[in-house]
Amino acid sequence: MGGNVKLSVILFSYNQQNYIEQAILSLLNQDFKYQYELIVSDDNSTDKTFDIIKRLHERYTGKVDFKINRNEHNLGLIEHFKKLVGMASSDFVVLAAGDDISRPNRVRRVFDRYTESKKSVICSYVTLIDKNNNLGRVWEGPSSNKDKSSYKEALSYSPYCIGATLAFEKSIMTDFPDIDSKSWAEDKIISFRAFLSKGVGLVKEPLVFYRYDVGVSSTFSQSLVEPKLIISRDYITSKQKFSDALMKKELLLGLIVFLGFFKRLSVLSLKILAKAFK
- List, as one string, the DSSP characters of the chain: --TT--EEEEEEESS-TTTHHHHHHHHHS----S-EEEEEEE---SSSHHHHHHHHHHH--SSSEEEEEE-SS---HHHHHHHHHHH--SSEEEEEETT-EE-TTHHHHHHHHHHHH--SEEEEEEEEE-TT--EEEEE--TTTT-SS--HHHHHSSS-SS-GGG-EEETHHHHTSPPPPTTSS-HHHHHHHHHHHTT-EEEEEEEEEEEESSSHHHHHHHHHTT-HHHHHHHHHHHHHHHHHHHHHTT-HHHHHHHHHHHHHHHHHHHHHHHHHHT-
In a domain, 25, yes or no: yes
Report which of 123, 118, 239 is spatially closest to residue 177, judged by C-alpha positions. Answer: 239
Rounded distance, CA 268 to CA 270, Å?
5
In a domain, 243, yes or no: no
186 or 129: whose pLDDT is higher? Answer: 129
In a domain, 261, yes or no: no
Are the beta carbons of 36 and 7 closer than 8 angstroms? Answer: yes
In a domain, 247, yes or no: no
Average pLDDT of span 234-238: 86
Q: What is the per-residue pLDDT across 72-108, written as a single tens digit (0 to 9) for each?
A: 999 999 999 999 999 999 999 999 999 999 999 999 9
Question: What pLDDT was estimated at residue 90?
Answer: 95
- State the pLDDT confidence band at 262, using cuts at 50, 70 and 90: confident
Rounded distance, CA 161 to CA 158, Å?
9
Range of the domain at 52: 7-212
Name the β-bridge partners of 168: 93, 121
In a domain, 230, yes or no: no
Rounded distance, CA 49 to CA 215, Å?
13
Q: The domain spanning residue 160 has which CATH number?
A: 3.90.550.10
- State the pLDDT confidence band at 151, using cuts at 50, 70 and 90: low
Rounded distance, CA 9 to CA 4, Å?
14
Question: What pLDDT was estimated at residue 182?
Answer: 83
In a domain, 253, yes or no: no
Question: What pLDDT was estimated at residue 253?
Answer: 83
Question: What pLDDT was estimated at residue 222?
Answer: 45
Question: What pLDDT was estimated at residue 229?
Answer: 75
pLDDT at 244 over 70: yes
**How far does CA 148 lie from the centroid of its chain?**
17
pLDDT at 153 over 70: no
Question: What pLDDT was estimated at residue 84?
Answer: 96
Report which of 20, 58, 60, 59 is spatially closest to residue 40, judged by C-alpha positions. Answer: 20
Question: What pLDDT was estimated at residue 195?
Answer: 82
Question: What pLDDT was estimated at residue 267?
Answer: 74
In a domain, 219, yes or no: no
Q: What is the per-residue pLDDT across 130-149, written as a single tens digit (0 to 9) for each?
A: 999 999 999 987 655 455 54
> How far is the first Cα of the chain from the last one, in angstroms, to the nearest whole number?
60
Q: What is the mean pLDDT of the chain?
A: 86
Are the beta carbons of 43 and 103 closer than 8 angstroms? Answer: no
Question: What pLDDT was estimated at residue 278?
Answer: 60
Question: What pLDDT was estimated at residue 186?
Answer: 83
Question: What pLDDT was estimated at residue 217?
Answer: 45
Average pLDDT of span 35-52: 97
Question: What pLDDT was estimated at residue 220?
Answer: 45
Rounded distance, CA 46 to CA 65, Å?
27
**Global confidence as pTM:** 0.86
Question: What pLDDT was estimated at residue 251?
Answer: 87
In a domain, 70, yes or no: yes
Count of structural domains, the chain: 1
Name the β-bridge partners of 128: 210
Question: What pLDDT was estimated at residue 46?
Answer: 96
- State the pLDDT confidence band at 225, using cuts at 50, 70 and 90: low
Average pLDDT of span 154-164: 66
Rounded distance, CA 79 to CA 181, Å?
6
pLDDT at 157 over 50: no
Q: How many residues does the chain have?
A: 278
95 or 277: whose pLDDT is higher? Answer: 95
Question: What pLDDT was estimated at residue 158?
Answer: 54
